[in-house]
A and B are shown apart, each in its own frame.
Chain A
Amino acid sequence: MSDTEWACHELLLRLAGRLPDDILWRFRDWAATDAVVVLARALPRALLHDRIGLTDLEMNLLADAVLSNGADRAMLSSVEGVDELSESGYTFTAESPDRVSMGDSATAVLGATLRGRQGVGEVRSTWRQGGADQVTRRIVLIAATTGHARLTGEVQRVLRALGEHDPCVEVVPLGMELPPYHQAALAASEPICTGAEVDGHLVPV
């Protein structure tokens, strides 16, 4: 994974819960494809449209992710900087509060797909409530050592086919310090399966 791809994936990971889910999953779908050049234009525009501020670290990631793909520097300059992230307003639970119809099927399919897979460590899921739309969503947390953007896109497509229109798939590089959103999600998660990277735990042991 190039520096650009890495920066793009990490930035989109850190924007979980801040960009609308329907936009975020689409951008993540594009990140591992030829559409990354469109992403370079659409991502800054989406940040400006929703008035989403970025930390210094995220601002650097944004520049690394999109400038080399033709993003407008003037547009990047308009993105507001923030010192620290505000509370997300989400709560996480290990079990679905209102039992999403495709929940069990999704867990079974993810387990069958990712169990023993190369480059994949621990796979967990949790349920998120709150936010602007007040919709309960499944959050899938995956520890991975390689191919993060591609794995994200693949799992997203599986979940969409199973009935989740806006899948929330967080593929976390091993060793990454998790943002507050992901820490909260991880704290309320339960395991689905483990890939071939048996030491790739999301939860430090």
Chain B
Amino acid sequence: MANDVELPVRLHDLLLALAGRVDDDALSQARELLAVAEPDRAVELVVGCLLAGRIPVTDPERGQITDLLAELNSTRSLADLLNAVDTLPVPRHRFSAESDPADGIGEALAKVVTSLPDIRSVMCVWRSTPAGASPGPLPQRLVLVDIGPQGYAPATAYRIDRALRRAGLSAAVEVLRPATQLSDYHAAAVTTAREVKFSSSSSGGGHRDESGAWFDGPEDVRDQAPVVEPTPVPEIPETGSETPSPRRNRAESYEGAQPFPPKPVKRVVREAVDLVEEPPLPPALSPPTPPAVFNNAEVTMELGPDDLAALQAALADPNGLPPGAAVSVEATPAADAKLSDRERALLQQLHEELAQREDPPAQGDESGQWQIDRSGTQGSFQPPAWMGAQTNGDLVNGTQQNNGHPPYQS
């Protein structure tokens, strides 16, 4: 029985639900058939793979397949042959972001992400476990694409898959639509995945929308899935260099969606990182910033531009206050006491920061603001207790990951 959702979208969601159970090549082929307007062949391919591999499906999934077969004038009785179960076997997939799964992806997708509508972000992760009865080589790279309500999931999956193949990159592409609940498989993959950074000329993916949620699942799923906190970042006032895009305006209507880990990060901060061409951190240093540094950054961001200039001058002056600061203080006695307190606290903290730095940051520009936070991720990083589960364990079944797999090259 048909419902309000269009058939290609329903079929896309079915393929998404089967990820990790059916082999990746079959899903890729089915998505291609769907994208080129051959959904009947796509459904039959899926049914054939499920039967050949005796892959179990739930009763609702079988019902969906029955409906799709009927709508596509195929033989709906094929669905009766499927192995329907009450509870699916627990997935045992392992994901890893080591060996940089995003290597080369940005270049391969730079063009296509600009031509496809409403791509919010692209993430990559390695999966070191087989999928389906006829699995391909391991590890398998997953490319997770988050689209907004204006995006076309089947077309996005197909074209990104094609772009990767043309670039000689083997990957399984999963396009996540808004307002759909992620499976455990995708939740685990997203939590471990590394975001692909695109150059500033490619405005499509790579930049996460401030209001757009990577994961739009309900609250209960978020509570169940493993959580990795992203690097906490200070809120930096938006500068004039950033112009709101139509995509952003569209995404703002989506604010009601519940964000899911990793929590949305302020886009302005990510762009600032891109602007300074920060080299990718080693995996061991990429986890979140220690809370102490985060507090420093929060205090720093309370300062206005004048305060910051005074503070930077103070940093340059080993005796503390710059000459200009005194003039400013005399002009506003009420602010004098307040700024002095801040400066004293900040000077103490920032001198500690400077002592930890190997290379002093450039002063007097905005990148200096950000480097206060960056310095905390290097050298003296002490992972907080909550990171233990993520850095040491398998996100799905709690066993140790073996991350020594080399990246697969087709």
Which of A35, A101, A156 meets B51, CB within 8 Å? A35
Q: Does B350 interact with chain A (Cβ within 8 Å)?
A: no
Do residues A45 and B41 form an inter-chain contact, with CB atoms below 8 A?
Answer: yes
- With a cutoff of 8 Å between Cβ atoms, the chain A residues found around residue B75 in the complex are 41, 70
Cα(A179)–Cα(B38), bound, Å: 32
Chain A stretch 65-86: residues in CB contact (< 8 A) with chain B? 70
Beta-carbon contacts of A25-59 to B below 8 Å, as 1s and 0s?
A: 01001100111011101100110010000000000
A49 to B42, CA, bound (A): 13
Taking CB as reference atom, which chain B residue is nearest A102?
B137
The residues of B that contact A45 with a CB separation of less than 8 Å are 40-41, 44
How far is B54's CA from A34's CA once the two chains are assembled, in angstroms? 8
Quick one: which of A1-44 are within 8 Å of B by CB? 22, 26, 29-30, 33-35, 37-39, 41-42
Q: Which B residues touch A165, using CB under 8 A?
A: 25, 136, 170, 410
Residues of B within 8 A of A30 (CB): 48, 51-52
| Given known A34-B54, A42-B41, A45-B41, contact A160–B135 (CB-CB < 8 A) | yes
In angstroms, Cα B136 to Cα A162, docked, is 7
Interface: B70 (CB within 8 A): no
Q: Kindly provide the distance from the CB of B103 to the nearest chain A CB, expressed in whole angstroms.
A: 17
Query: A161 contacts the other chain (Cβ, under 8 Å)?
Result: yes
**A161 with B51: CB separation less than 8 A:** no
Bound together, the chains give a CA A49 to CA B37 distance in angstroms of 13
Within 8 Å CB of A35, what residues of B?
47-49, 51-52
Query: 0/1 per residue, A83-99, Cβ < 8 Å to B?
Result: 00000000000000000
Q: Which listed residue, B130, B134, B410, touches A156 by the CB 8 Å rule?
A: B134
If the complex has contacts A42-B41, A157-B133, A161-B135, are A22 and B51 also in contact, measured as CB distance less than 8 A? no
Given A33, A49, A162, which contacts B137 in the complex, CB threshold below 8 Å?
Answer: A162
- Tell me which residues across on chain A come within 8 A of B137, comparing CB atoms: 102, 160-163
- Interface residue tally of chain B, by bracket? 20 to 34
Provide the bound-state CA to CA distance between A157 and B134, in Å.
5
- Interface hits, B51-76 → A, CB 8 Å: 51-54, 74-75
A contact residues around B47 at 8 Å (CB): 35, 38
Prevailing SS type, chain A contact patch = helix
Find the B residue at minimum CB distance from A42. Answer: B44
Which residues of A are found within 8 Å of B52, using beta-carbon distances? 29-30, 33-35
* Known contacts A38-B44, A157-B134, A161-B130, A33 near B25 by CB under 8 Å: no
CB atoms of B136 and A161 under 8 A apart: yes
What mask results when residues 384 to 410 of chain B are scored 1 for a CB within 8 Å of chain A, else 0?
Answer: 000000000000000000000000111
Residue pair B78, A38 in contact (C-beta under 8 Å): yes
Given contacts A38-B44, A161-B137, contact A26 B26 (CB under 8 A): yes
Point out the residues of chain B lying under 8 angstroms from A34, CB to CB: 51-52, 54, 81
Check: B308 CB closer than 8 A to any chain A CB. Answer: no
Q: Does B29 count as interface, using CB distance less than 8 angstroms?
A: yes
Beyond A37-B78, A38-B51, whether A160 also contacts B44 by CB under 8 A is no
B45 at the interface (CB under 8 A from A): yes
A22 touches B44 (CB 8 A): no
Known: A35-B49, A160-B136. A22 touches B25 (CB 8 A): yes
Q: Is the CB of B81 within 8 A of A42?
A: no
**Alpha-carbon distance between A158 and B210 when the two chains are bound, in angstroms:** 46
Nearest Cβ in chain B — how far from A145, in angstroms? 24
What is the minimal beta-carbon distance from A166 to any residue of chain B, in angstroms?
8
Cα of A26 to Cα of B50 in the assembled complex, Å: 12
- What would 8 more interface pairs be, CB under 8 Å, given A161-B135, A163-B408, A165-B136? A22-B25, A26-B29, A30-B52, A33-B51, A35-B48, A41-B74, A45-B41, A102-B137
List, sorted by A's number, 21 A–B pairs whose CB atoms are closer than 8 Å. A22-B25, A33-B53, A35-B51, A35-B52, A37-B51, A37-B81, A38-B44, A41-B74, A45-B41, A45-B44, A46-B41, A49-B41, A102-B137, A156-B134, A157-B134, A160-B134, A160-B135, A160-B136, A161-B135, A162-B137, A163-B136
